[in-house]
Amino acid sequence: MSPRALSLLALHLHDGEHALVRDVSLTIRRGKVLGLVGTSGGGKSLTTLAILDLLPPGVKRVAGLVALDSQPVEPATLRGRIVGLVQQAPRGGFNPLVSIGRHFLETLACDGLRGAPAWEKMQGLLAEVGFERPAEIASLYPSQLSGGMLQRVMLALALARDPLFLLADEPTTDLDLVVQARLLDLLEALVQRRGIGLLLVTHDLSVIARLADTVAVMDQGRIVELQSAHNLFEDPAHPRAQALVAAHRALYA
Amino acid sequence: MMQLQDIHHGYRQGGIFSRSRRHPVLQGARLTIGTGECVALLGRTGSGKSTLGRLVLGLERPDAGRILFDGAPLTDFRGRMAPATRRAIQAVFQDPQAATSPRFTGYEVVAEPLTVQGEASRDRVAELLAEVDLPPELLDRPAHRMSGGQLQRLCIARALATRPRLVVLDEAVNSLDLETQARVMALLRRLRAQHGMAFLFVTHDLRLLRGFADRSYVMQDRRPVEVADPFGPGPLPPVLQALRDAILPEMPRPRLPAGRAVG
């Protein structure tokens, strides 16, 4: 049976001088959206990267476990097949010298998919993220696509190996409102259609309001609040969560 | 103070050797910014709003049309700006990491525009840091060890260094987290009240305009269209309507309890 939950247990990260993330535990469930919010520099991205053991040089995991249905697993083995990753600022995630199609073929080859079947799968993925003429996109280079298009391509790549979970780190931060709304519709459809478990990392509470079932609020490397999205907006408990909700509400005043 | 008259501008598409024609970005664009005025320029990604900002800054020359600053052409026939004009028009961009050398200290970042004129001094830079609510400790801290919010305030301090009359804010708060964004917006409001400079506030986030902009334009079909009240009832340009419709909900909607089969 395929796993139903991906958990991070008691994660501690350290850079040699300071504790960056302290005792963070999270559980992402299939078919659900867990939001992770907080000010920048609070440890959201590091926590996300730690799930796949993709920490930047100098940052050490001093404690913590990643588990699938409470079975501890080696984080690096989750990449691609079990857990897909979508990051902010999509341009940096692509090789500028390689066409979009080649990016897909390389990823699909991990599962032994080559030639016509790989080409077909790529077209399906690009269509799934909303491209009407996938074949045209495949022949283009990253510099020929807009930020919003690249963000969708990155999502299609993350889905290429049919992951059960998706980690999306600020997936809409650089996009304009219209593209953002479309991408969030798409993520919602993926959660519903594929039963993907989604970790949605953002500093924008309106993204949370749109999509999240449960929300974790992070501040200075700790989770200070964990509750349903509805309750967070109605009745934030921690002062940091209250400040965040207040800043968000002011945008709509 | 600043007038754009019937501007046409475009970029080459494809590689250096491709024969494709110029891709038009602006066609017949008109825009005015009065002294001390805060003018918002809204638009979708790729609508040409940043291009317009670059023209206002004199970083590019339009293919056709005139840009006037205080009634005189912004750039001379070789595309150069008079030094006084250059000092009068400053900019803050979206990505503060990209806009600062990571090896510079806070002092070096802010002092850079002043050293040209030989006006740089620690006192003057410390004064500028204080204006943007940054502590004097940052004078000696390298830029790569500052947070995004601190760096963006540093960029604002740098833009203020020459006492500009117009500051182009190109998505200047969009990469900041919510609370930092709110603080920087408050700071911009205060600085404008104190110094009376004009802003060209370029953004795609309609929500930021409320109580901030005196006048608003939206990029529609390669030209800015002035909108009396972006939040009022229509009729609105289609792009503005689309941006308004795309504003995400303030509060979570009640969701159906999950009963879907997965796995």
| Position A148 pLDDT exceeds 80 | no
| Position B17 pLDDT exceeds 70 | no
pLDDT digits (tens, 9 = 90+) for A172-211: 877 788 888 988 998 999 999 989 999 999 989 999 999 9
Q: Which of A172, A177, A203, A235 to mutate to test the interface with B (most CBs of B within 10 A)?
A: A177
Q: What's the CATH code, domain A5-95+163-252?
A: 3.40.50.300
pLDDT attached to residue A177: 86
| A241 to chain B: closest CA residue | B179
Give the Cα separation of A217 and A47 in Å (integer): 12
| B240 to chain A: closest CA residue | A178
Are the Cβ atoms of B45 and A1 closer than 8 angstroms?
no
Query: How close does chain A come to B242, measured CA to CA in Å?
Result: 7
Interface predicted TM-score (ipTM) = 0.80
Q: Where are the domains of chain B?
A: 2-11+23-244
Mean pLDDT for chain A? 91
Are the Cβ atoms of A176 and B204 closer than 8 angstroms?
yes
pLDDT attached to residue B13: 61
pLDDT attached to residue B72: 93
Give the Cα separation of B116 and A123 in Å (integer): 54
Q: Which of B251, B253, B260 to mutate to test the interface with A (most CBs of A within 10 A)?
A: B251
* Residues in chain B closer than 8 A to A251 (CB atoms): 178, 182, 207-208
pLDDT digits (tens, 9 = 90+) for B35-82: 999 999 999 877 888 899 999 999 999 999 999 999 999 998 888 899
Residue B259 pLDDT level (bands cut at 50, 70, 90): very low
| B209 to chain A: closest CA residue | A251
Residue B255 pLDDT level (bands cut at 50, 70, 90): low
Query: How close does chain A come to B146, measured CA to CA in Å?
Result: 10
Query: How close does chain B come to A4, measured CA to CA in Å?
Result: 7
Residue A28 pLDDT level (bands cut at 50, 70, 90): very high
pLDDT attached to residue A152: 87
Are the Cβ atoms of B263 and A253 closer than 8 angstroms?
no
Residues A222 and A13: beta-carbon distance below 8 Å: no
Q: Which of A40, A140, A245 to mutate to test the interface with B (most CBs of B within 10 A)?
A: A40
Residue B260 pLDDT level (bands cut at 50, 70, 90): very low
* Residues in chain B closer than 8 A to A206 (CB atoms): 247-250
Torsion A202-A203-A204-A209 (CA) sign: positive
pLDDT attached to residue B15: 54
Give the Cα separation of B132 and B136 in Å (integer): 11
* Residues in chain A closer than 8 A to B46 (CB atoms): 146
Q: Which residues of B fall below an 8 Å CB-CB distance to A?
A: 43-46, 147-149, 174-182, 204-208, 210, 242-243, 245-255, 258, 260-263
Q: For chain B, how far is it from start to end, CA to CA, in angstroms?
A: 63
Residues A12 and A23: beta-carbon distance below 8 Å: yes
CB-count exposure of residue A224 (10 Å: 0-12, 13-18, 19+): middle
pLDDT digits (tens, 9 = 90+) for B131-160: 888 999 999 999 988 888 889 999 999 999
pLDDT attached to residue B154: 93
User: Average pLDDT, stretch A120-138?
Assistant: 88
User: Average pLDDT, stretch B215-235?
Assistant: 92
Residue B195 sits at the vertex; the CA angle it makes with B194 and B196, to the nearest 5 degrees, is 100
Are the Cβ atoms of A39 and B261 closer than 8 angstroms?
no
CATH topology of domain B2-11+23-244: Rossmann fold (3.40.50)
Are the Cβ atoms of A39 and B179 closer than 8 angstroms?
yes
pLDDT attached to residue B74: 94
Query: How close does chain A come to B125, measured CA to CA in Å?
Result: 26
Residue A23 pLDDT level (bands cut at 50, 70, 90): very high
Residue B263 pLDDT level (bands cut at 50, 70, 90): very low
Mean pLDDT for chain B? 88
pLDDT attached to residue B258: 47
User: Average pLDDT, stretch B4-27?
Assistant: 77
pTM for this entry: 0.84
**A vs B: CB pairs below 8 A:** 108
Q: Which of B212, B248, B260 to mutate to test the interface with A (most CBs of A within 10 A)?
A: B248
pLDDT attached to residue B256: 53
DSSP string, chain B: -EEEEEEEEEE--S-TT--PPPEEEEEEEEEEE-TT-EEEEE--TTSSHHHHHHHHTTSS--SEEEEEETTEESS-TTSPPPHHHHHHEEEE-S-TTTTS-TTSBHHHHHHHHHHTTT---HHHHHHHHHHTT--GGGGGSBGGGS-HHHHHHHHHHHHHTT--SEEEEESTTTTS-HHHHHHHHHHHHHHHHHH--EEEEEES-GGGGTTT-SEEEEEETTEEEEES-TTSSS---HHHHHHHHTPPPSSPPP-PPP-----
pLDDT attached to residue B178: 84
Query: How close does chain B come to A61, measured CA to CA in Å?
Result: 21
Q: For chain A, how far is it from start to end, CA to CA, in angstroms?
A: 48
Considering only CB atoms, B178 lies closest to which of A174, A212, A247, namely A247
